[in-house]
Structure 1
Amino acid sequence: MSRVLERRKQLMRLMRQATLDNGYFTVAGIAEATGIPRSTIQDWVNRLIEEGCVALLEEQRGRHAARYVASSVMPESACRRVFTTIDGEEVEIYHECMSGGCAAFCEFHHARAGGALQSVWRDGTLLRERAHLGRQEVAVGLDPAPAVGIIGVFHEDGRIRQQIRCIGGPAYSLTDMMSFAEGVCGVTVHREGPLVEGEVVTRALAYVAIGIDDTDTAAEGATFALALALLQH
């Protein structure tokens, strides 16, 4: 057992240092540094992901190896949770932020940009946006231009793909934070000069609306009870 703990400590130290130096680590890099077979390192990485000590940053694409990060050295994400619902051609995007200030920033710039969004609301730390499927160009830049905008929303294979264009702080959020938010299935990014464009993938959930009416009585209150149960669970 002590040898296993020592090996775990050694690998975690290398993974943390590689994350600090490069922003990520790969299985091949750790295997080369330790002389341990790649298959063994991959087993360790999978185990550490289950423990929450390591997170997948980028999946393997062709010859490009998967990239991972040591969770302990990553800054805490301002993006708590992102989920999306679809009803016909309409999509609603729900984004829960770390603070009301973060949510207010996104509310202001997303509303200013317009793009694929039809409306933007905020309730405390929860940002709620309604979009129509399709693509709509947005001019993003420094003030007075919006710093971030959603340029496209698409539905494909049970997933919603949001295409985002941004600069500055929102670009950092897109590249380094959104992939860690609950509900996000994947994030891909690429740079075009000072701008960053990326795609955020989430599940396409069904939209369910519950109306509370005046038919409840002292003996029966089905709609209220159902709404309360769904809110809690």
Structure 2
Amino acid sequence: MDLSGSSAVVTGGGSGLGAATAEALAQAGAKVVVLDLDGAKATAVANRIGGVAVAGDVAEEAPVIAAVEAAEALGPLRVAVACAGIAPAARVAGRSGPHDLALFERVVRVNLVGTFNLLRVAAARMTTNGPLADGERGLVVCTASIAAFEGQIGQAAYAASKGGVVGLTLPAARELARFGVRVVTIAPGLIHTPLMDTLTPEAREALSRQPLFPQRLGRPTEFGALVLAIAANPLLNGETIRLDGALRLPPA
């Protein structure tokens, strides 16, 4: 897919994977709308790449609709990438009692409902696009995690929410195929996002030894590069792609 003259929406675009993806899409010629709960961060990224910022919660209808409409004003919406997510840790049955139900609901709301919210709004708009040479009209890239397959102790909510994203991928791709809209999910492993900077250097070093090769933390730019590779290859559809250096998470 040639992104020149098209538009894109990236949720969670104010930092980490989202910011790197927004930058990659802009470098490929797309006009990018950056949606983030933190409006200041969204604005900073949008200013850097010549895009547009929208502040809001990905699980709410109005901000996502606003982001899609802002993108359409810049050009046909061809790519939407759902990067917004949270990952609080809590045990199902811990020393202080059962897992907080409100926390579980919040994780699912941001990670799964927020992803579906972008998917439904963006895909509906993409179906109205004129087809490209091969009949393609658009691409939605979702973000899961390898925790969807090997969730660790304390990751029940996170793993469940990301497992939901994986489960959403194929049925959505099947439904949207007749419109020429693809749905692909990326399941990252250990990526050096701002969350990693809250750890001690020793903890980061220990984590960096877990992938088989390359034996280091992944880079957000590598996630952005994979988004571009997916956009370039129309045969990629209905699949979840691991981006993890052959890492398989242990129980804890």
Whether TM exceeds 0.5 here: the answer is no
Q: Which has the higher contact order (CA 8 A, sep 6+)?
A: 2
Larger Rg: 1
More helix per residue: 2
Higher strand share: 1
